[in-house]
Amino acid sequence: MVCPAETPEGQACGLVKNLSLMAVVSVGTPVKVVLETLDEQGVENLSELHPHNIPDKAKIFVNGSWVGIHNDPEGLVSVLKKKRRKCVLSKEVSIINDYANKEIKSDFLFIFFSKSL
């Protein structure tokens, strides 16, 4: 975690200027596009599920909210990444497959840092 206002070396060490040169701030990504893509790929909505089906399938999270489950997490992640590469989904959409917990997480990055050359 980087605090742009204070650092251990004291205030006004140049971190604010360097951070503003290196940071890219996005305008965000509509959640609707991601949710529509998940529906197209057969993600089962939580409101339509029987609780006995949940342990056998991968949980799908969007921005921290549990939105559904899916039978084939590897296939779903592959499709989502292909759509991101083809710019159907924004490049700011993060897609994470947590194999250990059987979860797929999709988050939207609002600030990321570029490495200076």
Q: What domain range is 96 assigned to?
A: 29-108
- What is the average per-residue pLDDT within 40-68? 85
User: Helix, strand, coil proportions of the chain in percent (round to 5)?
Assistant: 35, 25, 40
Looking at the domain assignment, is residue 9 inside a domain?
no
Report the domain count for the chain. Answer: 1
C-alpha 63/C-alpha 67 separation (Å) is 10
Spatial distance between the Cα atoms of 28 and 46, rounded to a whole number of angstroms: 25
Report if residue 55 sits inside a domain: yes
- What band does 40 get if pLDDT is binned at 50, 70 and 90? very high
| d(C-alpha 59, C-alpha 43), whole Å | 9
**Residue 7 included in any domain:** no
- Res 109 pLDDT > 70: no
What pLDDT is stored for residue 82 in this prediction?
93
pTM for the complete prediction? 0.69
Specify if 117 maps to a domain: no
Is 65 within the bounds of a domain?
yes
Tell me if 23 is assigned to some domain: no
CATH classification at residue 48: 3.90.1070.20
Contact, 77 vs 97, CB < 8 A?
yes
